[in-house]
Amino acid sequence: MPIREDAFLHYQELLSDISLITKDLKERFSQEITCHLGCIGCCQQQLTLSLVEVDFISLAIKNLPTAQQQKVLLAAQTIKNKTNETNTCPLLDGIACSVYESRPVICRTHGFPITFKDEESEDLFLDVCPLNFSKDGESVELNLTDTIDIDRLNLRLAAINYTYSRDKLGDGKKSAERMEMSEIIISALGDL
């Protein structure tokens, strides 16, 4: 079934809101947040995505130039076949993401100060990339307004994904299913 043009409307609104939040944080903490093109520390893991993100990123992968598609497909196949012991995301091309403008929510928030509540203790925790806010002698007190509430963001993403899954598959229960990035690429590109 083809994807309707407006199917990603709420997801794109979420991405836009994340961009505004991260832009504000970068401006307020320009010296402390060191994320930049070429810093690939966050790209050293195998992510799993929900259906709305799978379909969104699949479209971006299908729109890559053929040579780039072949490159990411080969990287995904080596991960799937375990012929390469890398944890690097198959979409990483040197120092940048092949589908940067369509990258998932988790990639957009990596490195930024986030807060989250421990499910068992209900304690609130702060996490930030160790490369940020780390200069010697620099002590920055972060308030809740200086962080991304990752629980709230994930709840919003889950609601968007539930609605998307329900509308696309006729079954919102499938919204809990996740897919690995290498599988997304292989599925999107087929037998290129």
Choose among 140, 107, 105: nearest CA to 126. 140
Domain range summary for the chain, segments of one domain joined by +: 9-189
pLDDT, tens only, 30-87: 888 888 778 888 888 888 999 999 999 999 999 999 999 999 999 999 988 877 777 8
Asked if residue 141 has pLDDT above 80, the reply is no
Task: Give the number of other CB atoms < 10 A from CB of residue 175.
Answer: 21
Asked if residue 105 has pLDDT above 80, the reply is yes
Angle between the N-to-C axes of helices 181-189 and 66-80, in degrees from 0 to 180, rounded to the nearest 10? 130
- Rounded CA gap, 30 and 162, in Å? 36
pLDDT at 139: 54
Asked if residue 125 has pLDDT above 80, the reply is yes
Least confident stretch, 51-60, 100-109, 124-133: 124-133
Percent of the chain scoring above 90 in pLDDT: 54
- pTM for the predicted model, two decimal places: 0.89
pLDDT at 62: 96
Asked if residue 1 has pLDDT above 60, the reply is no
Q: What DSSP element (H or E) covers 187? A: helix 181-189
45, 187 contact by CB (below 8 A): no
87, 44 contact by CB (below 8 A): yes
Q: What DSSP element (H or E) covers 127? A: strand 124-127
